[in-house]
Amino acid sequence: MTHPFELTQEIELAATPEQVWDAIATGPGVDSWFMGRTELGTSAGGSAHLTMTGHTQRATITAYEPGTRLATRGAEAPDGRFMAMEYLVEGRGGGTTVLRLVQNGILGDDWETEFEAMKAGWPIYLETLKQYLTHFTGRTPSVTTTFRPGAGGPDTVWKIVTESLGVTPDVGEGDRVRLPDGSSGVVYYANLPVNLGVRTDEGLYRFIHSGTARGDALVLGHQNFAGRDEQAAWDAWTAENFA
């Protein structure tokens, strides 16, 4: 049985509305804080496609108001399921901007699990957007996206991830970590035992436990702004630690 839903998130960003718009309404901008590769048109009726791990989610732009509003809607499944997104950009004084995100649509039988997963996932992506606009704005990254099904429950995944980074499971925001390649970073987001975000001098790295009706999975979504292609290295790390 399907079920309608709506999820709203909001974040204040130390950036101009123009900078925020570029980050949410252009393919390279979205690639700098989300995951996978995004293709976005520049008018209502244009494409809004996300390609990740070889699969493309296709959507259409339903509203395009430069600097203020972007809305998209995915294709509708035979049972009526669909996903729609709306981004609202509002400039504030002092060079700050508030971004409001509204996600709605129709979910399937396991709608409660899907809804909770989306609710838990958005904060780390919005914080990554904030980190991008603060430290790497205007730069285009090399993107790594890795999906590992059957990785284990959240406590198991969190223990493996934190040990690999040289910290304890009670790691918190502001703590220093060391990535497998030896580079040093600082934790910018920690929601244990589900999501961890790390910033280095070169990029942004996210470790996300995703629990869905299909089982537990580890999702890596990384951006390297020095242009280094790290996909093979992180694929190897994932295979070694989550056999």
Instruction: Assess whether 50 and 79 both reside in one domain.
Output: yes
**Is residue 52 domain-shared with residue 148, that is, in the same domain?**
no
User: What is the model's pLDDT at position 83?
Assistant: 86
pLDDT at 76: 87
CB 124, CB 204: distance < 8 Å: no
> Which of the 8 DSSP states describes residue 201?
S
Residues 115, 10 share a domain: yes
Q: Which domain holds residue 197?
A: 142-241
| Residue whose C-alpha is closest to residue 132's, from 141, 119, 145 | 141
What integer best gives the mean pLDDT of the chain? 91
Asked if pLDDT for residue 213 goes beyond 60, the answer is no
CA–CA gap between residue 185 and residue 201 (Å, rounded): 7
Last residue of a domain, one of 136, 166, 182: 136
Nearest CA to 58 among 35, 76, 80, 81? 76
Q: What number of CA atoms fall less than 13 Å from residue 204's CA on the CB side?
A: 28
Same domain, residue pair 163 and 116: no
Domain final position from 136, 165, 198: 136
pTM above 0.85, yes or no: yes
How many other C-beta atoms are found inside a 10 Å radius of the C-beta of residue 99? 23
Q: Is the pLDDT of residue 145 over 70?
A: yes
Query: Quick one: 40 and 86 in the same domain?
Result: yes
Is pLDDT at 116 greater than 70 in this prediction? no
- 162 contacts 178 by C-beta, under 8 angstroms: no
Q: Do 41 and 105 belong to one domain?
A: yes
Is there a contact between 69 and 87 (Cβ–Cβ < 8 Å)? yes
My answer on whether 17 and 128 are in the same domain is yes
CATH of the domain at 38: 3.30.530.20
Does a cis peptide bond (omega within 30 degrees of 0) precede residue 154? no
My answer on whether 20 and 129 are in the same domain is yes
- pLDDT for 121 equals 74
Q: Are residues 127 and 149 in the same domain?
A: no
Same domain (yes/no): 216, 168: yes
* 155 lies in the same domain as 56: no
How many secondary structure helices (H) and strands (E) does the chain include?
A: 5, 14
Q: What is the pLDDT of residue 236?
A: 96
pLDDT per position as a tens digit, 55-84 = 898 999 999 999 999 999 998 888 888 889
- The residue out of 102, 136, 170 marking a domain boundary is 136
- 23 close to 132: Cβ distance less than 8 angstroms: yes
Q: Are residues 146 and 126 in the same domain?
A: no
Our count of domains for the chain comes to 2
